[in-house]
Amino acid sequence: MTELLTRPPATVRDDDSQAVPSLWWRGALGALWAICLGLAVLVVLVLVMWATDARSGASAGEAMQAALQLWLVGHKVPLHIVGSHGQPGATIALAPLGLTLAMVLLVARTGAVLARGSRIDDLSGVATVAAAVGVPYGLLAAFVAAAAHGSAVRPSPVAALGAGLLLGTAAAGWGALRGAGHQSDLRAIVPARLHAPIAAGAAAVPVLMGFGLILVLGSLAVHAHTASALADGLGTGVVATGGLLLLDALLLPNAALAAVGYVTGPGFALGAATSYGQTGVTSTALPSLPLLAAAPQGPAPLGVRVLCLVAIAAAGVVVGWRLRRFPATGWNAVRDLAGAGAVAGVLTAIGVGLAGGPAGPGRMAVVGASPWQVGLVTAGEVTAVAALVVAVAARAGWSRAARGDVRR
């Protein structure tokens, strides 16, 4: 498969008319490779856990269907759960972002290998690679949804087609761009006046996520006994417990993004009519998932509040410092500050939106933070701190310039 992807396109005529069909053919093979590898890993893991769980009443076929459904959820394809015995149905659309990232890396690797093997040297070629991988990836995802259709769980092939097209095209395009070494060409498409606010605003997101992850891991360490009790209370074997811990690891990015909502102020929800914020907690009984032991149990203590303030300050300082690398004055400086704050808010809102979603029936239909609230608050907080940093840096520059004039 790797040899097929890296082999240069066959050219028979001088106009290179044979290259495009070859590229599309190898793009389809690459999409098939990425899907088969991802599904194979999930099927093996699920079958191992099924075989070692003596209490499981499911068949091997149902276990394999569960693996296909997990793959679909990783692409944020909604799974519609059929109600039984008069119970209402439900929807699961909470994607474990760790699994999503793994799928993205697989497809990006395919795009990079295809771009290098086809000697792509311009952005139009990168777009062709993205389409050559993304289109068959979406079509194959729809077939996976049809195969995962069961009596109790019914994923939508149409939703799988759309999600597969989006993830496949974006990831393959990113990989092809890196494989062809044309990141600078993409930067050239964006107007020069937008480079500074986009780069500065984007830099705030990993800072906030990093502090959110620190908060989650710190809370887990403090409540390690509770997390262990939740795992033991399920009564599963060693292999099933390992699978549960793997699921927790895949959900860590979701938890970190929910913690961003906690850090910035709006908080997050773990069920309908629940609220987890720095000022207080309104909660109900939670599922027995060890990761949920990290959920706050009351108002934030002083140390946590200080950490949240440090996180906001750090994000704003990073934005302000990056803007100082592209000095601007007057309305241009105001425009860059507002643009950087808007970029930080939009990207944070997108991340929070991807991290949340319905996770089951009843109250679990609402999980995660509010994207628009977190995005709006993040934009305001980051802009305020960044403006202070830029003002202090500018004042310091003026002071140094004045001292230089006095010396002269």
Highest mean pLDDT among 20-29, 150-159, 281-290: 150-159
Q: Pick the residue with more confidence: 47 or 37? A: 37
Q: What is the spatial distance between Cα 364 and Cα 272, in angstroms, rounded to a whole number?
A: 6
- Cβ atoms of 110 and 30 within 8 Å: the answer is yes
H or E stretch at 282: strand 281-282
Q: Is 170 left (phi over 0), alpha (psi -120 to 50) or beta?
A: alpha
The pLDDT tens digits of the residues spanning 379-398 come to 999 999 999 988 887 776 54
Cα distance between residue 193 and residue 165, in whole Å: 32
Residue 13: predicted pLDDT: 40
pLDDT at 11 over 50: no
Which of 154-158, 187-191, 192-196, 219-223 shows the lowest per-residue confidence on average (mean pLDDT)? Answer: 187-191
Distance, CA of 47 to CA of 63 (rounded, Å): 6
Give the containing element (helix H, strand E) for 369. none
Q: What is the average pLDDT across 264-279?
A: 91
At 234 the pLDDT is 62
Q: Which of 99-108, 220-229, 249-258, 367-376 has the lowest mean pLDDT?
A: 220-229
Cα three-residue angle 182-188-189, rounded to 5 degrees: 100
Higher pLDDT, 195 or 301: 301
What is the reported pLDDT for 25? Answer: 92
**Which range in 79-88, 139-148, 332-341 is most confidently predicted, on average pLDDT?**
139-148
With beta carbons less than 8 A apart as the criterion, state whether 238 and 54 touch.
Answer: no
Choose between 190 and 95: higher pLDDT.
Answer: 95
- Judged against a pLDDT cut of 90, whether residue 372 lies above it is answered with yes
User: pLDDT, tens digit, for every residue of 48-59?
Assistant: 888 876 666 677
Q: Over 80: is that where the pLDDT of 258 sits?
A: yes
Answer positive or negative: Cα dihedral of 206, 211, 216, 221: positive
Higher pLDDT, 243 or 210: 210
Confidence label for 271 from pLDDT (cuts 50, 70 and 90): confident
Query: What mean pLDDT do residues 71-76 have?
Result: 95
Q: Which residues contact 22 (CB under 8 A, 6 or more apart)?
A: 9, 10, 118
Centre a 10 Å sphere on the Cβ of residue 58 and count the other Cβ atoms it contains. Answer: 12
